[in-house]
Structure formats: C-alpha cells, structure tokens
Structure 1
C-alpha cells in the first residue's frame, strides 16, 4: 500500500536532518501506530505523504505509484485538532472533501448525509461545531476524512486533546468503524496502551534523525477488549515500548 524508499528530509532553516535514509512499507488493511518522543519527526512523515513537504532525497510510493504523480484525494488526513469550519453545519463540514473534488453540491451533501447516518451522527447534521462536544467533533472530522474516498488514512494524534474517558470511548469507536471499512491506517500517538489496543503493528522511532522504525507486531485478534492488554505477552510488549521511548527522551 505504502512504501518509503530512502527518504531524507530537513527544513531549509535547520542544519540537521529530521529524517535520514528512511525506508519502510505498509501493507493493505494494516492499522499501524507510530510512537516516539515529541519533536522526533513523526508528523513530518505524514506531511511528506500528503505532499505538504518535499523530501530532500528518496521516493514515496502509494499502490506502487510515485505520489508525485497522484492528484488530490489520494490520501485521507485527520490532524490533532478537528479543524471543522465554524460557520458550516456538520453536514456542510462533512461534505467538504467531495465539494473540493468538484462533486455536485446536492450529491455531495447526499453522500455526507449517508455516512453521518451510518455513524449515528444524522441528528447533528444541522448543528454547528460549537454545539458539539470534543468527542463528537472528532467523529465528524473522521467522517470528513473518510469522504475523501482514500484507501489510506493518516490519523495524527486525533484523540490527544480529549479527556481520558472520552478518549477510551473514541478508541473503541474508531476500532469498530475501521474493522468494517477495509481501510489502511497510519496512526500517530504518544499513548502506549492506545497503540497496543488499536494496532496490528507498531513502529517505534529510533531517535533523531529517524533512520528506521523498529517494528513490533501486536498479535491480538479483533474485536478487542481492554482485558486483552493484561496478558503476559502484551505486558511484555508494553514494557518494551516504554523502554524504547525512554531512550529518546531528552531531559
């Protein structure tokens, strides 16, 4: 589904590289969490995939095609903040990706209404973002990401601003939706338990610059329960993740 091939990147104003000769692959249908200390370059990986930044060297391929040859809508990106437009209703916010792609307005709203209904959000369609809780806004943001039509979704710490209980609820909601969507997901998080609960595989950054990802397979079946994380194998992986993350922390 996705391949990074010898990617290096640095910002023009910085002397040092953030990413250096990074190569990795993501297979279709995987849910992969990327974990690492703040500021190590995780979000830059997403910015490169979205073509918001250009690599200094190397190539990125999606479905065996160089992303430089792909037009808008090839990837779905959900940032940390919901970025819903305050003067647009929930229905109008959800239909935005289709409108950007040039869809007829009536058809775009019809498609958006269908997915809002499927996700139990139909009754909020005429409300505005200010009327919804943080968790509800993130759900709407996710529906908007899906309506890009992309087979691969990039979720950049989408639950980091939520309170603990809402965050747990959103994790379970996301896992339920992903299991029925046939999408490939890359998910950035600082939360080790969140990564374990959601992922088929976890990528751990190796410091700065990022030269490689250490891959850890999460060998748990779906659907998942919180209790699965208390097994000896999962506790061992959790300890390994925490140990790896501590190596990258600068006090």
Structure 2
C-alpha cells in the first residue's frame, strides 16, 4: 500500500536533517501506530505523504505509484484537532471532501448522509460543531476523512485532546469501524497502551534524525478487548516501549 524509499528531509533554513535515508513498507489493511517523543519527526512523515513537504531525496509510493503523479483525494488525513468549520452544519462539514472533488450536489449530500447514518450520526446532521461533544466531533472528523475515498488514512493523534474515558471509547469505536471498512491506517500516538490496543504493528522512532523504525508486531487477534492487554507478552512489550520512550528512544 505505502512504501518509503530512502527518504531524507530537512527544512531549508535548518542544517540538520529530521529524517535521513528512511525506508519502510505498509501493507494493505494494516493498522500501524508510530510512537516516539514529541518533536522527533512523526508528523513530518505524514506531511511528506500528503505532499505538504517535499523530500530532500528519495521517493514515496502509494500502491506502486509515485505520489508525485497522484491527484487530489489520494490520501485521507485527520489531524489532532477536528478542524470542523463552525458555520457549517455536521452534514456540510462531512460532505466537504466530496464538494472539493466536484459533482452533483444532490449526490454529494446523499453520499454524506449515508455515511453519517452508517456511523449513527444522522440525527446530528443539521446541528453545528458547537452542539457536539469532543468525542462526537472527532467521529464527524473521521467520517469526513473517509469521504475522501482514500484507501490509506493518516490519523495524527486524533484522540489526544479528549478526556480519558472518551478516549477509550473512541479507540474501541475506531477499531470497530476499521474492521468493517478494510482501510489501511497509519496512526500517530504518544500513548503506548493506545498503540498496543489498536495496532497490527508499531513503528518506534530511533532518535533524531529518524533513520529507521523499530518494528514491533502485536500478536493479538481482532476483535480486541481491554483484558487482552494483560497478556504477559504484551505487558513486556509495554514496559519495553515505555523505557525506550523515557530514554528518548535510544535503541
């Protein structure tokens, strides 16, 4: 689904590289979490995939095609904040990716309404973001991300601003939707337990600049429950990840 080949990146005004000769692959249908300390370059990986930044060297491929030849809508991106437009209704916010692509507005509205209904959000379609809780706004933001039509979704700490109970609920909700939609997900988080609960594999950064990811396979079946995290092997991985993060990921 996604491949980085020898990607290096730095900002023009900065002499130091953020990413240096990074290569990795993501297979179709995987749920991969990227874990590392703040400021290490995790979000820069997403910005490169979205073409918000250009690599200094190397190439990025999506389903075998260089992303430089891809047009709009090849990626679905959900940032930390929901970024819902306050003066647009929930339906209007959700339909924004379809509007950008163009086409018949009746069809756009119908498709957005169907997606909201499938996620149990149809009764909120005429409300505004201010009328919804943080968790509900994030569900709307995820719905909008899906309506890009992309098979690859980039989720950049989407639950970091939520309270603890809402965050746990959203993790379970996201896993349920992912299992039904057959999408490929890259998920940035600082929360080790969140990464373990959600992921098929975890990529751990190796310091700065990022030269490689340490890959950890999470051997838990889906669907998952919280008590699976008490598995002794998972507890050992959790302790290892926490120690690595405390050391600044010096592997």
Q: Same fold (TM over 0.5)?
A: yes
Determine the structure 1 residue equivalent to 2:185. Answer: 185
RMSD of equivalent CA atoms: 0.9
Q: TM-score, length-normalised on structure 2?
A: 0.98
State the Cα deviation string for residues 192-222 of structure 1 (Å, max 9, x = none).
0000000000000000000000000000000
Determine the structure 2 residue equivalent to 1:142. Answer: 142
1-structure distance, mates of 2:36, 2:51? 22
| Off by >4 Å, runs of 4+ in structure 1 | none
Question: What SS does the aligned partner of 2:180 have?
Answer: coil
2-structure distance, mates of 1:42, 1:33? 10
1:107-186 alignment, distance < 5 Å: 107-186=107-186
1:20 aligns to 2:20 (yes or no): yes
Question: What SS does the aligned partner of 1:179 have?
Answer: helix
Q: CA deviation at 1:78?
A: 0.2
Gaps of 5+ in 1: none
2-structure distance, mates of 1:244, 1:29? 28
**Which deviates more from structure 2 when the two are superposed, residues 239-248 or residues 181-190?**
239-248
Does the CA-based 8 Å contact 2:206-2:249 persist in structure 1?
A: no
Does the CA-based 8 Å contact 2:205-2:249 persist in structure 1?
A: no
State the Cα deviation string for residues 26-73 of structure 1 (Å, max 9, x = none).
000000000000000000000000000000000000000000000010
1-structure distance, mates of 2:103, 2:134? 29
Gaps of 5+ in 2: none
1-structure distance, mates of 2:235, 2:193? 10
1-structure distance, mates of 2:185, 2:241? 20
Q: CA deviation at 1:249?
A: 6.8
Determine the structure 1 residue equivalent to 2:87. Answer: 87
Determine the structure 2 residue equivalent to 1:196. Answer: 196
2-structure distance, mates of 1:200, 1:15? 36
